A = this chain, B = another copy of it.
């Protein structure tokens, strides 16, 4: 049983809102961590970005999700926060900044259609993703 050092990697975004598939990067971090089975934690230390697990086959699914969020949390409204990015904070809270995923054979044990996405809501900018694992 081991709790290995924490890994991290950067993800650039190139639009204000974007879902970037980071499944490969998380599996890469798991390889470096060398834990065969257990629980993997993925975390973003940001308040206007989040993490989503969803279909990575048809990009229309990501498009529909961002469109729906944008309709629900309008970009301009009577927000008090003066930086103008309250919608990004709200969307980040709705999807969450922390995920746990099962690890088997040293890789994420995801469903056939699942991918892990960094959800950028206030880009473009550079984001950090933290990967942590407990197991054996």
Contacts and interface: CB of A to CB of B under 8 A. Distances in A.
Copies in the complex: 3
Contacts of A37: 3, 5-6
B110 A90 contact: no
A100 B98 contact: yes
Interface string A39-54: 1010111110000111
Interface residues of A, number: 60
A72 B63 CA distance: 17
Contact of A55 (B53, B89, B114, B135): B89
Interface in A21-60: 37-39, 41, 43-47, 52-55, 58, 60
Contact of A47 (B54, B67, B79): B54
